[in-house]
Amino acid sequence: MRQTLMPASPRTLPIIESCEGCGACCLVVTHPPFYRLLDESGEDAWERLKWDRPDLLAEFLADARARKASGGPFYGTPCIWFDVQTRRCRHYEYRPRACRQFELGSQDCRDARRRAGMERT
C-alpha cells in the first residue's frame, strides 16, 4: 500500500499590498490594452484620450503603425506608457479599462509577478 505524505501545514501566499515599484502587468502588453469594438467608440478612456490628449493618441497610433510596418512585435514587450525607471505608468489617468480592473493580488497579478521574477515566497 502506497502512503501519501501531506505537508504539516498548508502554504500561505504572501499578501500583495501595493503595485508600487512593480509594473509586472505592464511588461508584456506592448500597448495600453484599450478595448475598441471595430475601431468605433468603445471605451471611455479611449474617447477621453482622443479629446484630452491627442498627442498620446498620435504616439499610440504611430507606434502601432511602425510595428505593423516592421513586422512587430505586437506583444511581449513593455507597454509604451510604462516607465522602466520609476516602474509606473506615465499616463496613469488615461489607462484603459483592462488596467483599471486588473486586481492587485489576483491570480493574474501573481502570475505576472512570477513571470517577471518578482515572486515572493
Q: What's the pLDDT score for residue 40? A: 57
In the chain, how many domains are there?
1
Average pLDDT over residues 29-35: 88
Q: With respect to residue 91, please indicate whether it lies within any of the assigned structural domains.
A: yes
Of 2 and 104, the one with more pLDDT: 104
Average pLDDT over residues 70-88: 93
Those residues with Cβ within 8 angstroms of residue 116's Cβ, 6 or more apart along the chain or in another chain: 24, 27
- Segments forming the whole domain that contains residue 94: 24-115
- Cα dihedral sign, 97-103-104-107: negative
Q: List the one residue out of 16, 15, 23, 18 whose CA is nearest residue 92.
A: 23
pTM: 0.77
Q: With respect to residue 17, please indicate whether it lies within any of the assigned structural domains.
A: no
Q: With respect to residue 12, please indicate whether it lies within any of the assigned structural domains.
A: no
Q: With respect to residue 90, please indicate whether it lies within any of the assigned structural domains.
A: yes
Q: What's the pLDDT score for residue 121? A: 43
